[in-house]
Structure 1
């Protein structure tokens, strides 16, 4: 006969006990240390805490308490996005060590390559991406309140791969009068973007990816109203184009 465990189910939101049931041991996991979901009364519940967490312990005592949170299904029509587009090439690998140690710059992954430099050869793909973003902005916009506009759709940019800009890092530093080189990390990741770097000027924070001493990806994060002058310098000297994806603006177009 299967051993029965006396399980107390508690709604962690309200603190109310949902029930106390005898549950066959084989229906319970060996550990609650990993994320666990169960179906109860036709609804899905996430196990937020378990006392005890290991099967050896609740087998010995025959008692288990599960604190749960009900998972509510969200209609896709109710999902809103704060941005009309994000990059489809956000890095997921991490490096435990920083390549440059002058400073560390961190940024949310949704902002990855939202303001980026590309080769002129990226046309007409740039135009194709911008057309899709404009469609989102004109047909999938929702006013939340007087100060906030959101989007019911978000365009994932995937057509343009690594631009391979081949910009000499030292020449870029010299052009921008940047004396320090930092490392770059995405918030929530326990490490740094591999082969990444960051530069700071009085107006702007630049970040990108290196291949040896050459910059193959270059983007802008923090900036001011005077950053446009730096952008035009980079565009002219290195014969690239600059794209502000969310605003569908291009500098240096052919």
Structure 2
């Protein structure tokens, strides 16, 4: 059988399963094959090929007919994009193969360095970043939902790239753990949710109402972050944790930054930060 010069093409919407158009195309207007995810422009609208029957030119030119199952590619108006957070830090730290037999502390990628300690001498850099975040809270946020299920969403996000080295003063890891009420779970490091390996040089330990995590090199902490623990602590555990954090902040001259909340807290305000009224 000689190849057909014209192929009858039936177009089917993958969403509805219904045929929506028929046409005839010459052999020169058709590709050698229709691989899945091939994009087509139909009347100025983009579509992607879900399935072609038959898939190759040899077959549909021999039969003279072709069925294309297509899915419309939805175009998103950038003005309609909403974010669940006003800020995140970029770039993420590199990952390495896990070591040891224990479990890592797993966080969402966007949660890396969202609540952290910074050296007081970097307060100028921190305030510049916080001004950008507070502007997003004022001008680009709204509440979706009602009551306990309501959440803030943002139509703009601030990507932080500073401070790159948040601890400008030396923070020995051993001394830090002496000051904090560290106990319970000690993790093998930190793993971002979608990564296979752990964050390079990372550590994470349980400190009552918080998990203290970050990175250290040669016994010196270079990144020091906080995340809520899964279990709700009692009042005494929360007070002990706040006191330990305050001691560490005073000894190493640190400030606590809640980036998403747009807050900068010194040692005297840690208790209220952990236990808001």
Q: So what's the TM-score if we normalise by structure 2?
A: 0.72
User: In the alignment, is residue 112 of structure 1 matched against residue 112 of structure 2?
Assistant: yes
Superposed CA offset, 1:148-184 (max 9, x none): 2222222222232122454333333333324623221
CA deviation string 1:11-50 (max 9, x = no partner): 32222234466575896487847x5433223112244x44
Aligned mates of 1:246, 1:16 — CA distance in 2: 46
1:79 aligns with 2:85: no
Looking at secondary structure, tell me which structure has more helix per residue.
Answer: 2
1:215 and 1:85 mapped to 2: Cα distance?
24
Which of 168, 173, 176 lines up with 1:172 in the alignment?
176
Q: Structure 1: which 5+ residue stretches go unaligned?
A: none
Residue 42 (structure 1) aligned to one of 41, 44, 65:
44
Q: Is 2:33–2:57's contact at 8 Å kept on the other side of the alignment? A: no
TM-score, structure 1 normalization: 0.78
From 199, 203, 206, the equivalent of 2:209 is 203
- Which blocks of at least 5 consecutive residues in structure 2 are unaligned? 269-277
Match for residue 94 of structure 1?
A: 95
Residue 59 of structure 1 and its aligned partner are, at CA, apart by 4.8
Judged with a 3 Å threshold, the aligned counterparts in structure 2 of structure 1 residues 114 and 61 are, in CA distance, closer, same or farther, namely: same
Q: Deviations over 1:110-131 (max 9, x none)?
A: 2121101112221211111111
Residue of structure 1 aligned with 2:261, choices 247, 251, 254? 247
Q: CA deviation at 1:186?
A: 1.4
Once the two structures are TM-superposed, the CA of residue 246 in structure 1 deviates from its matched residue by 1.7
* 2:161 equivalent among 158, 163, 175: 158
Distance change >3 Å, CA 150–CA 16, structure 1 → 2: same
- Alpha-carbon offset, residue 8 of structure 1: 5.6
Count of matched residue positions in the alignment of Structure 1 and Structure 2: 247
Q: Which deviations, in whole Å up to 9, do the C-alpha atoms of 1:86-140 show, x marking residues without a partner? A: 223333x432x21354322221112121101112221211111111111111122
